[in-house]
Amino acid sequence: MNASACEFDLLQQSLDDRLTEAQEERLAEHLVDCESCREKLEQLAAGPQAWQRIETCLKQEASGEHFPDGSHRVSTLIPTGPSSTSFAYPHPSDVRPQDFAVDFLRPSANPDALGTLNNIEIRSIIGHGGNGVVLKGFQEELNRLVAVKVMAPPLATSAAARLRFAREAQATAAITHPNVMPILTVHSGGQLPYLVMPYVDCESLQQRLDREGPLPAVDVLRIGHQVANGLAAAHAQGLVHRDVKPANILLEKGVDRVMLTDFGLARAADDASLTRTGLIAGTPQYMSPEQARGDAIDTRSDLFSLGSVMYAMATGRPPFRAETTYGILRRVTDEQPRQICEINSDVPAWLSGMISRLMAKSAEDRFGAADHVASLLEDCIAHVQQPRANALPEELNPPRFRRVLTSLLRKPIHVLVFGTFLLVAAVLMSLRTTPEPKPSQLVPSANEVTMEPEATDANWDAGLYEDIQEINEELDELLESLELETE
């Protein structure tokens, strides 16, 4: 399959898990360059129209419109044509009682609810996408709200998609940490698998960036710190997330809690399938160079993605952008992103340097572990909040003179003041170092006493030393004042 020959039938066969491994690899390579096939694949994996249709069906089932006998069954929605926006219902005998949106939604005492799923009252649809739909539910016995993530019907026929869905549950269940969204229960045996998670009133980091643009430095540090903590917990279980991006980072409203979610691509660090040629999983704008090349990856790949997320928070945009996926992947592997200070001069130089190290092209040049990054970010937060009481970590603290000069380059008024000071100092030293005429060069009178050159030079050296010391002290004071202002 090449860029000039799009075979849409292969897309559906891929979703149905009916392609050989070689065919999957060729299809993956084709999708990198073919935008029309990528759009078609998203449509086949249930686009907005499909989910609108599903939402309508759910509401009709809850009101009993489909079945006059009051059974309120929601039968399996099966695509009837090449597009997933057309569905048909199978015979009721094909339906298993435990399936959600496949068997039935029981009527609810709440007239505003869509219905009930087992012991969960389904109240509304939170959101949907190509992979599935997330429903807001309520468990009366436990008096708590929950979020129910249901796999998209077209994906449920793919063994690979169901494996990813089950892997998300298994990976997340292995992690117990406040910065990782937990999974309460999982139902993977039905025709439409679903996960039950705590309901949290939140928004994604991507939504906040879309609304606000670049974030203050303290928010970049705070969010980055909690994501690093979540990654450290995952890495401690031997897992690599592989898809760290703003859309998978949730910000709880009203508190400062950040949660990492969507472990559907997570794999064990020693999983051989992480290096399958031609298969690239993840989001191109935030994946590491080794991940983009399809090379072996480890936990440091997630650190590159974290750095890319922090870059987006600091600048309001992803570090690598291009018109095509292939173009993005090439930039990830071959090019450096634009300097943060060129986009947002308010970002401290030390923070920009930390992000650059996280985004080093070679994994060897990055920080070694997520827990170390979390510790550094915690110290940075303390420094930003109380700079006089808490110094920057030495690892992030460049030499003082270079640090101040870097900050000066971003503020023209400081360049002018500092340049003027250096000019005055240079003129003063030049005047001082102009040698006086030696006595031998003068014609002394008969009564004039000739001064010894050695004595003149010694007095002159002592005066020059005093002036240099004074200039150093003044320069020290200037550096301190500029340093405090630029932090």
Among candidate residues 147, 141, 62, 158, the one with its CA nearest the CA of residue 101: 62
Burial 61-70 (b: 16+ CB within 10 A, else e): bbeeeeeeee
Distance in angstroms (rounded) separating the CA atoms of residues 31 and 482: 52
What separation in angstroms does the CA of 445 have from each of 437, 448, 449, 452?
A: 16, 5, 8, 16
- DSSP 8-state assignment for residue 200: -
Q: What is the CA radius of gyration of the chain?
A: 32
Q: Tell me the DSSP string of 318-363.
A: -S---SSHHHHHHHHHH-PPPPHHHH-TTS-HHHHHHHHHHT-SSG
Q: Which of 103, 243, 262, 302 is catalytic?
A: 243
- DSSP 8-state assignment for residue 111: T
Asked whether 135 and 144 are in contact (CB, 8 A), the reply is no
Tokens of 344: 């947002």
Residue 149, marked binder: yes
Beta strands in 164-264 (DSSP E): 185-187, 194-198, 202-204, 239-240, 249-252, 258-260
Read off the amino acid at residue 88.
A
94 is catalytic: no
- DSSP 8-state assignment for residue 129: -
Cα atoms in the Cβ-side hemisphere of radius 13 Å centred on 236: 13
Please state the residue numbers annotated as binding site for ATP.
149
Active site residues per annotation: 243
